[in-house]
Structure 1
Amino acid sequence: MNLPLIPAPAATTTSDGTLVIGDGLGIAVPPELADLAARFVEDVRIDAGIALSVAASPGVTVLIDSAGIDDVAPASGLRADGKDLADERYGLEITSAGVRVWGPTAEGVHRGLTSLRQLITAYAQDGSATLPAARVIDGPRFAWRGLSLDVARTFHPPAVVRRVVDMCSLYKLNVLHLHVTDDQGWRIEVPSRPALTEIGACGAIGDRPGGYYTQAEVAELVAYAAERFVTVVPEIEMPGHIAAVFRAYPELAPGEIRSIDLGNGASLQLSTLDPDRAETWEFVEDVLDAVIPQFPQSAYVHIGGDEAFGMPDEAHAAFVERAVELVRARGKRVVGWQEIARASISADVAVQYWMDVHEVESMDYDAVSSMVPAELLPILAEGLKKAAQDAPRALAQGARLLVSPTSWLYFDRPHADASSDAAQEEMRKRVGLPVYPAASIRDSVEWDPVENTPGVESDAQVAGVEGAVWCETIATADELEFMLLPRLSGAAEKAWSRQTSTDWPEYAARLSHQSKAWQQREWTWFHSVEVDWA
């Protein structure tokens, strides 16, 4: 019997017997886990409509314990919070007498309670849930399991970001990578550079409203995520994608700014920060000094580094190398898009692989040329030609890859399959970047982070797995959630589960149960006809 859990656990055994979970069932926890248990109780109330309680006479026992955990190997890769001794492994045992959830750390216990929460929701009916007797021993394959969220092209307010954190937590994703700066807007306060928010934060793509997060709002988001064991990693895009900075501080811009109209309400700027100017580095240091303290849980700063169109290779490499040193001097580590591998980097830098060589090689260039301005085509062709060597170059320098290939983990591509909800068909045709071939929900899980990443031969070369959602075509919270669900659960499956291949019918059966929680939380989700939703 396969339990309706996503991601799939490392080891599961089932046996005869059941346990009924209903209102008033008690949860016994040690004092240090009281807050964690209270959040679990609230989540079960929302997801399943069942009111559990924290009580001395328990039906559920939660404790710190390592029994049986070593049957599952520790996770491979890097943690965004930099912790070397963190352990997310857990045990979950259900018998007719009750439930026991344990792990060596509070984080491990949280992952176990998340699995229990999914089971209660899947089996909930008429105010109670009848769970099958089972034992689960589980732990993640990769330590970094994340989502990159673009809040520059569309500004998503804190309440929307918290909903995304809740989605990540439900599927055991532990990183929210916030893309807070780009050409279209600057979304974070830098007190020494007030024009970044007074001017740079105004507007977004097209006629969408702008905005930014105050330091107080960032602190609340970071704390909210940390309570759910999600680390928020900031991305400060540089040296390209910098138009919002040039609007705020024109003195940082080159004498002539070149841009290309993309015809969709957006333009692509081809000008970059100049590494030979002292003013550039004064700006970068001001930004790092303001941003880093706002994300105390993150051991990393994402420096962007991608698509520095028109910038000579030598200047780009020089910029990346100095930016890395500035971040390192402030006690943090660097992650950047794959183009940073063209610089001289060290093994402590994580390189985010996104330009999937398979997709580049199979791209329909005639179709691309019909959607992309002619002026941009040679620039893209040059960038794609260089991209093929980025992953091998990063690995040769000892860096690990954060796997985010466009083919499987870019959630802004159109949905290929139809929706069983006819009302969603208009949104399906409208939302998603048309330059990407449409992808089905099945496509999102029929791949492997090691087998399908060029140059990677083992888990040890992988920092982790991260999905990405870009918002050129996404203007509202509903559209954002429509593109995230159910794809986000597929990303979690590939990042956590130790199964290198996914059986689609078996996965689809587990996926079908997830819609119950989504409905209860009023999340918008894509009703793919590929799944027989519960």
Structure 2
Amino acid sequence: MNLPVIPAPATATAHDGTLIVGAALGVVVQSADLAEVAARFVEDIQVDAGIALSPESAGITLLIDGDGIDDIAPAAGLRADGQAITDADERYGLEITGEGVRVWGRTAEAVHRGLTTLRQLITTHAQDGTAALPTTRIVDGPRFAWRGLSLDVVRTFHAPDVVRRVIDMCSLYKLNVLHLHLTDDQGWRIEVPSRPALTEVGATGAVGDRPGGFYSQSEVAALVAYAAERFVTVVPEIDMPGHTSAVFSAYPELAPAEIRSIDLGNGSSIQLSTLDPDRDETWAFVEDVLDAVIPQFPQSAYVHIGADETWGMSDEAHASFVEQAAALVRARGKRVVGWQEVARAAISSDDVVQYWMDVAEAESADSDKAASMLPPDLLPILVEGLRKAKHDAPKALAQGARLLVSPTTWLYFDRPHADASSDPGQEEARKRVGLPFYPAASIRDGVEWDPVENTPGVQTEDQLAGVEAAVWCETIATSDELEFTLLPRLAGAAEKAWTRQTSTDWSDYATRLGRQSLTWKHRGWTWFQSVEINWAP
């Protein structure tokens, strides 16, 4: 049964008949803890479909119930909020009959996921204030517990209202993690009261002449709450010991005596200097940062410590830093997640290793094309680092850690779009937005892969924490350009993270995807209008 829903549900059984959804229908909850979920659904349907559901009528019933849920296996992986899979069950049921709709699950979060499916069905069938829905019964649940997006707010500072729009996109596609990349060479984006220069000095920059900025503690609290209301956990990343130019600008005493960097020729540079694990000042700084950042993200069980691309740092020093930083995170009651390079240190089986460097791309780093696009001083450093990458996933798995799958080939959205756009005005953006170092990728590329089959050393879903896309903003200067890279790719990432089928039929997916533009139009979101998709008018 081809329902215009992304991600595709695990089971869907069609029945004869239709249900007309319009102003005559209302939402009834049979449990008080579903009231907020219901209210948000009503608001979303008004925005997405232009249908004002009645506040006083029945028709859509929400309840806490386990009917048929166990027909779907529990999710694999780990939750970013630290809850057990059994305690935060996202499996749901949705039944549409000629008399009304019933949505159920064992948790409010599960009911929210079911309502998200119903929301897409209503929006894609809406016309002139009503929607004629096919009668059907769906029982569904996610393949992986961690389904996320990593958002770079450093190279371009994205204001809170932009981040809220991204959270809305995540929620629409059942993604439940927003990983905020808060610090890097170009800027520092979060308050640390004991280290005021981090925001007074370190936050002022971005890439090129883009304005800097940071999130105040009140702004972080509002974003975290907004996300939590939509069952999205915000995970903070403090990138260290590398990517610390902004730190050294704010606190020069933490910098090495000689700071080495390589000019990229595009207004930015790559720094080869790192925090020193042998200095007491380093650890006083790290503790100050963790003590300030951790309380701002109470829903997250994890702190991301970065630890990637420590060019010029010895393997021994890098391992020492990772091990000490991880110990400080654990001492504060949190778990550790880091980019795949953390696997080169001694890590815990409770840690999550974010796999990002595809072996194939690592092997192509010393190609003639790469050589022509990179500064000559950078190429040998980059090749050396990338050649180590093929050992990272096996090392992580050997230590009992789970992998968070974020491969550059399929889940890095900062690569050029390969498809042409049906909107001639987007062709200029297509040439400009996306790192030219990466081969261009089509929308189809984003769904024709599998997180288990295409991750080196992985045999079963239980070895994975989940799936997370990433968007970096070297070439993204505005919110429109951000959305241009996120949509429709974000829907494809959600398909691979949630849907249980290991292979995706392109024709089926493309048909479902084309209907999603109806919601995007109502939301005022920008999306890349690939000629390969028959978009809804």
For normalisation by structure 2, the TM-score amounts to 0.99
CA distance in 2, matches of 1:175, 1:266: 30
2:212 is aligned to: 210
Matches of residues 476-495 of structure 1 in structure 2 within 5 Å? 476-495=478-497
CA distance in 1, matches of 2:155, 2:43: 33
Q: Structure 1: which amino acid aligns with 2:51?
A: I
Q: Secondary structure at the match of 1:44?
A: helix
Cα deviation code 1:205-241 (max 9, x no counterpart): 1000000000000000000000000000000000000
* Larger deviation, residues 354-363 vs 394-403: 354-363
1:342 is aligned to: 344
CA, structure 1 residues 208+43, in 2 after alignment: closer, same or farther (shift >3 Å)?
Answer: same
Deviation at 1:53, TM superposition (A): 3.0
Out of 297, 301, 306, the position equivalent to 1:304 is 306
* Larger deviation, residues 130-139 vs 363-372: 363-372
Q: Secondary structure at the match of 1:425?
A: helix
Deviation at 1:31, TM superposition (A): 2.1
CA distance in 2, matches of 1:481, 1:312: 38
Out of 452, 458, 462, the position equivalent to 2:464 is 462
* Larger deviation, residues 258-267 vs 235-244: 258-267
2:124 is aligned to: 122
Deviation at 1:127, TM superposition (A): 1.0
Cα deviation code 1:29-82 (max 9, x no counterpart): 132211111100000000000001343x41111111011000001100010000
Q: Secondary structure at the match of 1:129?
A: strand
2:388 is aligned to: 386
Query: In the alignment, is residue 44 of structure 1 matched against residue 33 of structure 2?
Result: no
1:3 is aligned to: 3
Q: Secondary structure at the match of 1:379?
A: helix
1:399 is aligned to: 401
* Larger deviation, residues 247-256 vs 360-369: 360-369
Out of 239, 261, 282, the position equivalent to 2:284 is 282
Out of 422, 426, 429, the position equivalent to 1:427 is 429
Out of 110, 135, 147, the position equivalent to 2:112 is 110
1:249 is aligned to: 251
Q: Secondary structure at the match of 2:388?
A: helix
Out of 174, 193, 196, the position equivalent to 1:194 is 196
CA, structure 1 residues 92+530, in 2 after alignment: closer, same or farther (shift >3 Å)?
Answer: same
CA contact (8 A) 1:37 1:54 kept: no
Q: Secondary structure at the match of 2:199?
A: helix
Deviation at 1:24, TM superposition (A): 3.6
Deviation at 1:117, TM superposition (A): 0.1
Matches of residues 81-92 of structure 1 in structure 2 within 5 Å? 81-84=81-84, 85-92=87-94
CA distance in 1, matches of 2:274, 2:54: 56
Q: Secondary structure at the match of 1:513?
A: helix
Q: Structure 1: which amino acid aligns with 2:477?
A: A
2:142 is aligned to: 140
CA distance in 2, matches of 1:288, 1:354: 25
CA contact (8 A) 2:6 2:494 kept: yes
CA, structure 1 residues 362+246, in 2 after alignment: closer, same or farther (shift >3 Å)?
Answer: closer
CA distance in 2, matches of 1:53, 1:111: 22
CA distance in 1, matches of 2:97, 2:365: 53
Q: Secondary structure at the match of 1:352?
A: strand
Out of 518, 528, 531, the position equivalent to 1:529 is 531
Query: In the alignment, is residue 74 of structure 1 matched against residue 74 of structure 2?
Result: yes
Deviation at 1:358, TM superposition (A): 2.4
State the Cα RMSD in Å.
0.7
2:231 is aligned to: 229
Q: How many pairs are equivalent? A: 533
CA distance in 1, matches of 2:300, 2:35: 25
CA distance in 2, matches of 1:64, 1:248: 51
Q: Secondary structure at the match of 2:380?
A: helix
CA contact (8 A) 2:362 2:383 kept: no
Deviation at 1:530, TM superposition (A): 0.7
Q: Secondary structure at the match of 1:468?
A: strand
Cα deviation code 1:449-486 (max 9, x no counterpart): 00000000000000000000000000000000000000
CA distance in 2, matches of 1:258, 1:145: 37
1:163 is aligned to: 165
Deviation at 1:362, TM superposition (A): 4.6
CA contact (8 A) 1:38 1:54 kept: no
Deviation at 1:15, TM superposition (A): 1.1
Q: Secondary structure at the match of 2:528?
A: coil
Unaligned 5+ runs, structure 2: none
2:21 is aligned to: 21
Query: In the alignment, is residue 93 of structure 1 matched against residue 95 of structure 2?
Result: yes
Q: Structure 1: which amino acid aligns with 2:274?
A: T
CA contact (8 A) 1:28 1:54 kept: no
Q: Structure 1: which amino acid aligns with 2:211?
A: P
CA contact (8 A) 1:324 1:334 kept: yes
Query: In the alignment, is residue 452 of structure 1 matched against residue 454 of structure 2?
Result: yes
Deviation at 1:359, TM superposition (A): 2.4
Q: Structure 2: which amino acid aligns with 1:83?
A: Q
CA distance in 1, matches of 2:32, 2:74: 27
CA distance in 2, matches of 1:225, 1:398: 30
Deviation at 1:364, TM superposition (A): 7.0
CA contact (8 A) 2:12 2:139 kept: yes
2:411 is aligned to: 409
2:64 is aligned to: 64
1:510 is aligned to: 512
